[in-house]
């Protein structure tokens, strides 16, 4: 199984379902736990933002997450029909301030920028499409 495709509703509890699917995909492909932790953390941050802010009129919407293993690269693509939002246009989070002084928000995108090797965004057919690439080294089964 070199390919995972998950469709979620725009509900926060769906993120847990996605995380479990990714864990199973990782196990089936001998992927290292630290890399999968980072993928899940990034998707949790991004999808929480999408679900919380992307659908101001409410209603049920579909968010799709596709993960493809190409050699030693995970290609993670998310698609949603929420408000147009390019996370790459957001200002860098000021991590020099203490947690108490720092404004709320912005750290999720900071994490994604630092944990992923490549990130691309495009608006396509009324959808946000975010493509992230994560270089990984497969673990050998014993």
140: in domain: no
30: in domain: yes
115: in domain: yes
Q: Could you give the 3-state DSSP secondary structure of residue 50?
A: helix
3-state percent breakdown (helix, strand, coil) of the chain, nearest 5: 35, 30, 40
Q: What is the dihedral of CA 129, 29, 39, 57, to 10 degrees?
A: 40
Contact between 8 and 64 under an 8 Å Cβ cutoff? The reply is yes
User: What pTM value is reported for the model?
Assistant: 0.86
142: in domain: no
Compute CA distances 116 → 56, 74, 103, 142, whole Å: 28, 10, 24, 28
Predicted pLDDT of residue 102: 41
Q: Could you tell me the CATH number of the domain that includes residue 131?
A: 3.30.565.10
Q: Which domain holds residue 108?
A: 3-135
Number of domains comprising the chain? 1
129: in domain: yes
Backbone conformation region of residue 127, classed left if phi is above 0, alpha if psi is from -120 to 50, else beta? beta
pLDDT of the chain, 142 residues: tens digit per residue: 699 999 999 999 999 999 999 999 999 999 999 999 999 999 999 999 999 999 999 999 999 999 999 999 999 999 999 999 998 887 665 555 554 554 444 567 888 999 999 999 999 999 999 999 999 976 665 4
Predicted pLDDT of residue 96: 57
Edge-first strand listing for the sheet containing 127-135:
3-9, 62-70, 73-80, 127-135, 118-124
141: in domain: no
């Amino acid at each position: 199984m070199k390919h995972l495709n998950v469709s979620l509703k725009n509900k926060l509890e769906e993120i847990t379902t996605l995380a479990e699917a990714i864990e199973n995909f990782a196990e089936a492909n001998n992927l290292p736990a630290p890399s999968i932790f980072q993928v899940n953390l990034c998707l949790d941050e991004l999808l929480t933002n999408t679900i919380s802010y992307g659908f101001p009129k409410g209603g049920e919407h579909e968010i799709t997450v596709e993960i493809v293993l190409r050699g030693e690269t995970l290609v993670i693509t998310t698609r949603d029909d929420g408000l147009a939002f390019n996370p790459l246009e957001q200002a860098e989070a000021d991590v020099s301030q203490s947690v108490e002084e720092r404004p709320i928000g912005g750290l999720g995108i900071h994490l994604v920028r630092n944990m992923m090797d490549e990130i691309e965004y495009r608006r396509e057919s009324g959808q946000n499409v975010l493509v992230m690439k994560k270089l990984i080294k497969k673990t050998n089964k014993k």
